[in-house]
Amino acid sequence: MANHKSAIKRIKQNQKKNERNTHIKSTLKTFIKRVREAAAAKDAVAAREALTAAIPIVDGAATKGVIHRSTASRNVSRLTKLVNSLG
């Protein structure tokens, strides 16, 4: 256990950040999964709606630093390509 006041504070901050990042990453994965499942079911309308909902979540995760902006861009690009292939 930390002895210094600043170290104790740092531990608390790290725990808060970890909880926030875990929540954001979990939500991100869920939204991406919804797009992929709709695409796998060949449901173009549902896939497009899921993509529309997922893009802000992906961009938000990148803005908050949970994922790299290039990773966010790659995810959006691949999901868009997948949905567009449905017709």
Q: What pTM did the predictor assign?
A: 0.88
In this prediction, residues 41-51 reach a mean pLDDT of 96
| Burial (CB count within 10 angstroms: exposed 0-12, middle 13-18, buried 19+), residue 27 | middle
The mean pLDDT of 22-45, rounded to a whole number, is: 97
Which of the four pLDDT bands, split at 50, 70 and 90, describes residue 61? very high
| Residue 13's pLDDT band (cuts 50, 70, 90) | very high
Listed by start position, the domains of the chain span 42-87
What is the average pLDDT across 23-37?
Answer: 98
Does the pLDDT of residue 1 top 80, yes or no?
no
- What is the band of 50 on the pLDDT scale with cuts at 50, 70, 90? very high
